[in-house]
Amino acid sequence: MGNQLSKLTVSIDTKELDEIIERLEYAKQLLKEINDDIETLKSNSEIINNECFYTVQDVIELTGYSKPTVLGLFNMTDFPSCSLGRKKLVKKSAFWKFFDKKIVYKW
């Protein structure tokens, strides 16, 4: 068996090898671009989730108010909320600015 392996020769066409290397380099570049795009999406997602809006559930957790109380707050005409479909949102900065005012609300 050792004799058979020593007689084994491999013929490599340099043109084919160059094409394979070129394809591998192209695939490597595509993977880098995909990874960069994923990082950009993660970054944008964090900005949207962490910087912009509170949901009804976020306000419940922040304030400790019940869901009906928070929904009542979101439905008040002077509360700076908006609706996207059935989801109610309030911009974080507007939420805190709203509570900077000293107002007494009676439910």
- Domain positions in the chain are 14-50, 52-100
* Whole-angstrom distance, CA of residue 31 vs CA of residue 46: 23
Indicate the pLDDT class of residue 50, thresholds 50, 70 and 90.
low
Supply the pLDDT for residue 40.
Answer: 79
Whether residue 74 contacts residue 60, with contact meaning beta carbons closer than 8 Å, is answered with: no
Residue indicated by tokens 């004799």: 3
Average pLDDT over every residue of 51-65 = 91
pTM: 0.49
Burial of 98 (0-12, 13-18, 19+ CB in 10 A): middle
Backbone angles phi, psi at 14, to 5 degrees: -65, -30
36 pLDDT higher than 80: yes
Supply the pLDDT for residue 17.
Answer: 87
1 pLDDT higher than 60: no
Q: What CATH number has the domain spanning 52-100? A: 1.10.10
